[in-house]
Amino acid sequence: MNKKGGFMLRNQRRRNIQKKRQPITYQNKDVVSKLFAEKMRNRSFSAYGLMLPEIIEVLPTNLPVVEANEMRIDNLFRLKDNSIVIVDYESEYRHSNKIKYLNYTVRVLKKYNLISKKEQIIRMVVIYTGDIEKGTTRNEIDVGCLRFQIEEIFLSELNAEEIERDLTAKIESGKVLTEEEQMQFVILPLIYKNIEKKQDCIRRCVELGKKIKFPEMQAFLLSGLLVFTDKVIRKDDSEEIRRYLGMTKIGKIIQEEIQQAVDEAVARTERETRKETRRETRRETRKKTSLDIAKRMLETGVSTERILFCVKGISKKELKELKKQLG
C-alpha cells in the first residue's frame, strides 16, 4: 500500500471511530431534558386520573428506527414496579395510530432487550388533549394472534379555567404547589381545546412560572411545560424558556455538569482514537515488512509455498500481485 493510500485509510478509520463513539446523547446535552429528568423522579400520573406506580427514571427517547418516517416517542419512563411506560400525546384520535404505538413498543423491546425478560411489563399510555372526549376512542386492537391494549388519559375531563385560576392564585400569593398541582401546571395548556388556546395558555404559564420563588420547583415547572407541550409550543416561547432556565442558578450548575461530561467524553474519544491509530500504524508497518521480505525471497527464487509458510501476515493473492509487479 502506498503512503497516500495508508494516510487516507487511517483518516477514514479515525472518522469511523468518532462516529461509533459519540460522546454523549442529545438527551443528556440538553439542559431542559436533564432538569425535567431529575425532577420527574417519584412523581406519578395520579393528577391526570391514572393510578400507576411512581416514576423512578426518565429514559432516553432515541430508540432504534423501524420506519424512516417514524417520529421519536414523546416520553419514556421507568416506574417503581420496574415496568416501562411509553407516553404519547394526541390532539386527535386515529385508530391507525395504534400501529405507531406498536412500533414504539417493539423499539423499546429491542433497545432494552426486554424480549428475553420474564414478567417485564410495558405500558402504552396515550394522553388525549382537551380536544378529545372520553367515549370517542377505542383503547385496544385484537387481531387474534395479537391483542394490544392502551391506557388512556382524557384531559377533557379536567376543568382548564378552574385549574389555571387556582394555580395562578397560589403562585401569586407565594405558596408552594403540591406535587399534584405541579403535574397539573406542566400539562395545563393541553387541557384547552384548539391550538390557539393552548398556545395562549403556554404564554401565560411562562409568565406565571417566572413569578415562582422556589428555584427547584420553578425549574421543574418550566422544563416540564416545555417537554409536555413540545408539539404545540411556539418557537419564541420555547426559546424564551430555554434562555430563562439557562440563566437560573440550577440551570447554570447543570450546564457546567453537562460541559464537564462532554469534555470528559471528548477526551476519552481522543485517547481511544490515538490508541486505534497507533494500532493501525503498527499493523501497516508489519504488513509492509512482510511484503518487503516476501519480495526479496521472490527475487532470490524462493517458491510461493515456502514464502507463504515462512512469512506471516501475507496472503496468496498479495504474493501473486507481488510476482506480477516483479515481472
Averaged pLDDT, 172-186? 93
What is the overall mean pLDDT for the chain? 80
Nearest to 17 by CA among 226, 266, 213: 266
Q: What is the DSSP string of 39-51?
A: HSTT--SGGGT--
* pLDDT the model gives residue 70: 53
Residue 160 pLDDT > 90, yes or no? yes
Averaged pLDDT, 141-168? 93
Residue 220 pLDDT > 80, yes or no? yes
Averaged pLDDT, 122-151? 92
CA distances from 275 to 19, 269, 270, 271 (A): 16, 10, 9, 6
DSSP 320: H
Residue 267 pLDDT > 90, yes or no? no
Averaged pLDDT, 249-258? 60
Residue 133 pLDDT > 50, yes or no? yes
Residue 4 pLDDT > 70, yes or no? no
More confident of the two residues 241 and 298: 241
Residue 302 pLDDT > 80, yes or no? no
Residue 152 pLDDT > 50, yes or no? yes
Could you list the beta-strand ranges (E) of the chain: 55-58, 75-79, 84-90, 122-128, 140-142, 147-149, 151-154
Averaged pLDDT, 139-168? 93
What digits encode the pLDDT tens for the residues 48-102? 888 889 998 888 776 655 554 555 788 889 999 888 999 999 999 999 899 999 9
SS3 310: helix
Whether 246 contacts 252, CB under 8 Å = yes
Q: What's the half-sphere exposure (Cβ side, CA atoms, 13 Å) at 195?
A: 8
Averaged pLDDT, 126-153? 92
